[in-house]
């Protein structure tokens, strides 16, 4: 396949996260072609020829497929009733303390079969794809017992075998304290370390381990002990840190050299320094801040300090029931004051690096997989300008067209 006469191609380059999402490291090419062979990008240049289908890209801006480095998309049931309570003024924490929140989804997920989880997950994957997401991370954490955590991870494995999208599984048994262990967080974490994680390892079905370090969930010292032992069991770490109450979770993320520290709505200057020192990537989740009516993370402070930033959806049944990339771009540019090139970096190479897949995806370069978005836009800066609107017209994964909206427009005749 050849993508002909691309109006504007925008990509970062390389295999590593870019400190401060430096826009000077973006590559912008015009009037160029991309040749795809065996699912990989084989050439980028002017006037390429070859056999096979051509797509005229003279109206399109072309970017790498988006990489979503933080989702919880495998769960049973829904929580629209709790969302309605939040719209009426109840806080996320009040609902959680009343036994709702994550625990509601745990009840639903324990009651769901593998088939239920696969089927609802399959439909959600189509939604990610429509938003231009071609790779995503996926956390367990709505089982909080051996059987259900494994079932969630198994659903991801089944979906990976059926789907063109890349799914990177994370074990998040430490998402909350289940009712059986109420008020015994330490005993629960020991159960995870001694019983659940070894079985996950035996089955080889998770690549990262994550924890929700938060007031009322897991405290700093508990989290530290847990993460040290997780590292000894051979896993790189992701963290939910400084989301609601400032506990200096980001400082801990730096100390344990987490790959990614996410949320960070309440990060302190010490936290920013710690992330910078350890090379931990900051995962910002503006859709969640929006849904919680919270202050956005201090993106400018992180970027200006040279920390690499990811932007992810955090799609989940509670704090953020959305994977709208158009809304994410709008919030990042308007409220977090990021430029569109910084945003693109946070949606492509940086998350790919944080998931260990940047040797395959995250940039458009010869030898990388052809995961490519064709946007109906004359240039990259049109994306935030057309705020809240999906510009993704065609999605190519592994060299194959997975979504094509060209025929869904009203005929001009």
Residue ranges that bind ligand NIG, judged by CB under 6 A: 72, 101-102, 105, 212, 240, 243, 288, 314, 316-320
Q: Which does 276 bind (CB under 5 to 8 A by kind): Fe ion, ligand NIG, none?
A: none
Residues, the chain, total?
413
Q: Which does 376 bind (CB under 5 to 8 A by kind): Fe ion, ligand NIG, none?
A: none
Quote the least distance from Cβ 68 to ligand NIG, whole Å. Answer: 13
Q: Which does 342 bind (CB under 5 to 8 A by kind): Fe ion, ligand NIG, none?
A: none
Q: 182, 26, 165, 188: which is closest to 96 by C-alpha?
A: 182
Would you state the structure tokens that stand for residue 248, as one six-digit string? 């200096």
Q: Is 314 in the site for Fe ion (CB under 5 A)?
A: yes
- From 45-53, 89-97, 171-179, 311-319, span contacting Fe ion (CB under 5 A): 311-319
SS (H, E, C) 150-219: HHHHHHHHHHHHHCCCEEEEEEEEECCCCHHHCCCHHHHHHHHHHHHHHHHHHHCCCCEEEEEECCCCEC
**Which lies closer to ligand NIG via its Cβ, residue 154 or residue 243?**
243
- From 112-120, 229-237, 310-318, 405-413, span contacting Fe ion (CB under 5 A): 310-318
Q: 318, 319, 340: which is closest to 329 by C-alpha?
A: 340
**Which lies closer to Fe ion via its Cβ, residue 248 or residue 314?**
314
CA–CA dist 286, 265 (Å, integer): 9
Q: 227, 89, 255: which is closest to 171 by C-alpha?
A: 227
Q: Which does 35 bind (CB under 5 to 8 A by kind): Fe ion, ligand NIG, none?
A: none
CA–CA dist 134, 240 (Å, integer): 23
Quote the least distance from Cβ 72 to Fe ion, whole Å. Answer: 6
- From 249-257, 268-276, 309-317, 367-375, span contacting Fe ion (CB under 5 A): 309-317
**Which lies closer to ligand NIG via its Cβ, residue 215 or residue 300?**
215
CB-based contact 313:322 (threshold 8 Å): yes
Q: Which does 380 bind (CB under 5 to 8 A by kind): Fe ion, ligand NIG, none?
A: none
| Residue number, nearest CB to ligand NIG | 318
Q: Which residue is it, tokens 């801990």?
A: 252
**Which lies closer to Fe ion via its Cβ, residue 11 or residue 332?**
332
Quote the least distance from Cβ 375 to Fe ion, whole Å. Answer: 27
Q: Which strand (E) or helix (H) includes residue 113?
A: none
- From 88-96, 161-169, 190-198, 313-321, span contacting Fe ion (CB under 5 A): 313-321
| Residue number, nearest CB to Fe ion | 314
CA–CA dist 330, 337 (Å, integer): 10
Quote the least distance from Cβ 136 to ligand NIG, whole Å. Answer: 14
Quote the least distance from Cβ 178 to ligand NIG, whole Å. Answer: 14
Q: 374, 357, 400, 352: which is closest to 164 by C-alpha?
A: 400
CA–CA dist 192, 226 (Å, integer): 9
Which spans of this chain sit near Fe ion (rule: CB under 5 A)? 314
């Amino acid at each position: 396949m050849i993508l002909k006469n691309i109006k504007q191609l925008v990509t970062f380059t390389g295999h590593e996260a870019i400190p401060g999402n430096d826009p000077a490291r973006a590559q912008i090419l015009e009037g160029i072609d991309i040749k795809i062979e065996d699912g990989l990008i084989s050439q980028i240049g002017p006037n390429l020829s070859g056999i096979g289908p051509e797509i005229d890209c003279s109206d399109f801006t072309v970017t790498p497929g988006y990489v979503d480095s933080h989702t919880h998309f495998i769960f049973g049931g829904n929580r629209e009733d709790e969302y309605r309570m939040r719209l009426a003024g109840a806080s996320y924490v009040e609902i959680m303390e009343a036994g709702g929140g994550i625990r509601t989804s745990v009840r639903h997920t324990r009651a769901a079969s593998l088939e239920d989880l696969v089927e609802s997950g399959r439909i959600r994957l189509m939604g990610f794809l429509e938003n231009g997401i071609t790779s995503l991370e996926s956390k367990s954490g709505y089982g909080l017992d051996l059987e259900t955590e494994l079932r969630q991870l198994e659903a991801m494995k089944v979906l990976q075998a059926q789907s063109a999208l890349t799914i990177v599984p994370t074990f998040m048994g430490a998402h909350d304290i289940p009712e059986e262990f109420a008020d015994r967080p330490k005993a629960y974490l020991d159960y995870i370390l001694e019983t659940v994680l070894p079985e996950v390892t035996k089955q080889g079905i998770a690549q990262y381990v994550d924890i929700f370090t938060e007031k009322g969930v897991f405290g700093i010292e508990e989290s530290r002990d847990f993460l040290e032992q997780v590292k000894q069991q051979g896993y790189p770490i992701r963290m939910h840190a400084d989301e609601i109450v400032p506990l200096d979770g980001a400082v801990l993320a730096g100390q344990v050299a987490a790959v990614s520290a996410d949320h960070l709505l309440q990060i302190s200057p010490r936290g920013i320094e710690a992330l910078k020192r350890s090379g931990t990537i900051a995962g910002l989740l503006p859709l969640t801040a929006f849904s919680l009516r919270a202050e956005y993370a201090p993106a400018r402070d992180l970027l200006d300090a040279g920390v690499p930033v990811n932007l992810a959806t955090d799609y989940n049944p509670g704090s953020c029931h959305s994977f709208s990339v158009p809304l994410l771009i709008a919030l990042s540019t308007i409220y977090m004051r990021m430029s569109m090139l910084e945003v693109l970096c946070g949606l492509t190479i940086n998350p790919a690096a944080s998931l260990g897949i940047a040797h395959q995806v995250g940039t458009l370069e010869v030898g990388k997989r052809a995961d490519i978005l064709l946007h109906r836009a004359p240039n990259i800066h049109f994306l935030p300008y057309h705020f809240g609107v999906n510009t993704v017209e065609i999605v190519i994964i592994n060299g194959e067209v997975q979504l094509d909206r060209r025929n869904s427009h009203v005929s001009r005749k």
